[in-house]
Structure 1
Amino acid sequence: MKGNHLISKRSAGLIGLTLAGVLALSACAANETPAASDGDSDSTASASTLSGTISGSGSSAQGSAQEAWQAAFQTANPEVTINYDPAGSGAGRTAFIAGGVAWAGSDSALSDDELAGEFAACAPDSKAIDLPTYISPIAVIFNVEGVDELNLDPTTLASIFNGTITTWNDPAIAALNEGVTLPSATITAVHRSDDSGTTKNFTDYLGKTASDIWTEKAADAFPAAFGGEGAQGTSGVVDAVTNGSNAIGYADASKAGSLGTAKIKVGDEFVGYTAEAAAAVVNDSPLVEGRDANDLAIALDRKTTDPTHYPLVLVSYSIVCQTYADADAAALVKAYIGYITSADGQSAAADAAGSAPLSDDLSAKVAAALETVS
């Protein structure tokens, strides 16, 4: 197929991706959004008319959810292959912009500069849109000798990660943790070494809640000037904290495992992460202003003082073309993203990754935006 040849060539030439079969699609129904059902998988699969292969790349935070989504969607649609590379949000957006993948998973929405550029997989004069897909708290993970519970406020957390506070028994940390014996050990602060939407959300939180301490703008790249220890991907940060000495880091909560997770101060209380608290802050946050009506990027309310909200949260997006250059690609992307943002898909992600399902209102907005994709 001509469209497949062009996109594969861009993938090889522009970003060196070798994703076999990217966008090699046969004709498929434009408006189907099939979902797997434990009790009716055989009949659902036999009824499916979808076939072909598409590939996505991006958010490692979405990794566990993507595995569950791929399995369910491919069971319901046995002639379909879905590939997803959890290479990180920055890498995913780069691949999508270059035309190497059909969609990107990203823990941060497209920037204004990215939206102003061209998208190789999209039809001429068509842009990409951000569709909320996966909501999850970001956990502040720690491994500190003799410490099982830890409270941190935004100022102290920012001071740890900008290198101002360097030992665990610093008075600022001790004041928030009365009765806890904190070691005099040096703090190992671990951050993502790759471009990461998780980092952008983490630094956005620090910049909004501790602006006097955290003076850098939110970005996918952790500020090099602040030092600390870098690690590749979510798994790299978790491994570095797990195997490190008196270490602290940040990661999608689904990957925290048995590590300690700090409570953060919201209003007058210290709040631990929950899927419900993450969903609450998303539901009460407005959309980013000035974007296309179908672009659902969310301006998260990091400064909330409501202790039922957990403001250190990420909304991970599926970034898709409003209009694809290849109609076959559009049909399959539309079906897959339609499934993962459906009630069934969101339930599968919650079971696999502990994420917070999209609210009914947000889910309806996503479905309406998807209807316009062609």
Structure 2
Amino acid sequence: MNSMRLSSTRLASIAAVAVASTILLSSCAANEPTPGGESPSGLSGTIHGGGASSQDAAQQAWVAAFQNANSGVTVEYEPTGSGAGRDNFVAGANSFTGSDRAFKDEELAKDNFAGCVPSTPIVEIPNYISPIAIIFNLDGVTSLNLDADTIAGIFKGDITKWNDPKIASQNADADLPDLAITAVHRSDESGTTENFTDYLSANSPVWDAEASGDWPYEGGEAAAQTSGVVDAVTNGTGTIGYADASRAGGLGTVAVKVGGDYVEYSAAAAAAIVDESPAAPGRDAVDLAIELDRTSDAAGVYPIVLVSYLIACSDYADDAVVDLVKAYLGYIISDEGQAVGVEAAGIAPISATLFEKAKTAIDSIK
């Protein structure tokens, strides 16, 4: 699906902006607008957003940079998790939200978005493309190769020791201890969980549960939000979990088997799977939801990828938020905004074609 691939011109532009973004990020703090009245852009006021905790690092950087350029504006983003973010958007508590999945057809059919004019479509833009890293804390081991069946067995609770033959056979050079595995999962409804379980459901018969934002099995250790999972893995012994790759830090990570190769996570590998995936059918032109192809065996593809969305009304019941929402979302998808996201969270920049579609959708908001 070549239309989704990053153009070399746009990628070069984003790379050029990234150096300036580093300086910008070091000079301003998130949620602290530059003192003063109305900004040179003429924008002023406050908008409330929230949702995906996976987007938190990028959102903090986007908020800081946007407020620095628009001193009369306050943007609030609370990383409540995708499920809470969608609920708050439905209730009209958020002017925009971040979600690690798009709204489902049956959710859209209810047409109960309190902040939007009834019977108007919502805007959904895949603005944040990032691999989900399988992270672990195992003394002396920094990287492991695992196939889908083994990953499923670990997180389902069927594989309970680090020196299990199913792990050892794929990692001949690793010194694997006779140590219990503690698998950590999200306790809250999570788009990260839904993306992770979607990969397992699509690729392994061991995983006999449906893809879901709620963890489907008993056992293991539960932790709230991305930060909770990372903390639990970091502070445990023999722990393993899953989190947005921007939060992997110094933890061990897993290279996932795709076809005949083991593929480590990277922004480029995450973008590759998005490029291979079609648009969700039957959606409005401003709803840019896609259907990820988790089973692709194309070279260099990393299938455990999170595509997180910006979600907004196409027609707001409160006209006062329209200009602010359009300006902030437009900034995020711009070359500068994507460069800030690369620097702060290691995202894969959206393609030139996706940018044009997203810009058209944002420009149409009223």
Question: What is the TM-score when the length of structure 1 is the normalising length?
Answer: 0.86
Q: Quote the Cα distance in structure 2 between the aligned partners of 1:268 and 1:147.
A: 23
- Report the identity percentage: 54
Q: Which amino acid aligns with 2:234?
A: T
Residue 91 of structure 1 pairs with residue 84 of structure 2: yes
Q: Which of 234, 245, 252 matches 2:226? A: 234
For structure 1, which segment, 251-260 or 120-129, has the greater mean C-alpha deviation from structure 2 after superposition?
Answer: 120-129
Q: Which residue of 1 aligns with 2:52?
A: 59
How far off is 1:169 after superposition? 1.2
Q: Contact 1:272–1:310 at 8 Å: present in 2 too? A: yes
The superposition leaves residues 118-140 of structure 1 with CA deviations (integer Å, 9 ceiling, x where unpaired) of 00000122232311111111000
**Aligned residue for 1:179?**
173
1:243 CA displacement: 0.8
1:274-285 correspondence runs (5 A):
274-285=266-277
Deviation at 1:234, TM superposition (A): 0.6
Deviations along 1:99-150, one digit per CA (max 9) or x if unpaired, are 1110110011112232122000001222323111111110000012332221
**Runs of 5+ unmatched residues, structure 1:** 1-34
1:158 aligns with 2:147: no
Distance 2:142 2:341 in 1: 29
Query: Could you tell me which amino acid in structure 1 is paired with residue 327 of structure 2?
Result: A
Match of 1:253 in 2: 245
8 Å contact kept, 2:186–2:224: yes
Query: Which deviates further from its counterpart, 112-121 or 255-264?
Result: 112-121
Equivalent in 115, 119, 132 of residue 125 of structure 1: 119
Shift of 1:339: 0.6
CA contact (8 A) 2:145 2:262 kept: yes
Aligned partners of 2:61 and 2:340 also within 8 Å: yes
Q: How many residues align?
A: 336
**In 1, Cα distance between equivalents of 2:252 and 2:142:** 6
Distance 2:317 2:39 in 1: 29
Q: Secondary structure of 2:143's match?
A: coil
- Per-residue CA deviation, residues 255-289 of structure 1 (Å, 9 max, x unaligned), is 01100011100111111111111111112211111
Q: How far is 1:311 from its partner? A: 1.2
Residue from 72, 85, 93 that aligns with 1:100:
93
> Is contact 2:142–2:251 with CA below 8 Å preserved after alignment?
no
Q: What are the Cα deviations for residues 238-261 of structure 1, in whole angstroms up to 9, with x where unaligned?
A: 110011120100000000110001
1:286 equivalent in structure 2:
278
Q: State the Cα deviation string for residues 301-337 of structure 1 (Å, max 9, x = none).
A: 1111123111111011011112110122122111110
What is the CA distance between 1:216 and its match in structure 2? 1.3
Aligned: 1:189 with 2:160: no
Aligned to 1:222: 215
SS of residue paired to 1:61: helix
Identify which of 103, 109, 116 aligns with 1:116: 109
- Determine the structure 1 residue equivalent to 2:351: 359
| Cα separation, 1, equivalents of 2:189 and 2:302 | 24
TM-score (norm 2): 0.88
What residue is the counterpart of 2:9 in the other structure?
A: none
* Structure-2 separation of matches of 1:215 and 1:286: 25
Equivalent of 1:149 in 128, 139, 143: 143
Match of 2:134 in 1: 140
Q: In the aligned structure 2, how far is the partner of 1:293 from the partner of 1:128? A: 10
- Pick from 55, 63, 74 the counterpart of residue 70 of structure 1: 63
Instruction: Report the 3-state secondary structure (helix = DSSP H, G, I; strand = E; otherwise coil) of the residue aligned with 1:150.
Output: strand
- State whether structure 2 residue 308 is matched by structure 1 residue 316: yes
Tell me how far apart the structure 1 counterparts of residues 294 and 218 of structure 2 sit (CA, whole Å): 22
Aligned counterpart for 2:299 among listed residues 307, 323, 333: 307
TM superposition shift of 1:373: 1.5
Deviation at 1:46, TM superposition (A): 5.4
2:281 counterpart of 1:298: no
**AA paired with 2:359?**
A
Q: CA deviation at 1:363?
A: 1.1
Q: What displacement does 1:92 show?
A: 0.5
Counterpart of 2:72 in structure 1 is 79
Point out 4+ residue stretches in structure 1 off by more than 4 angstroms. Answer: 35-42
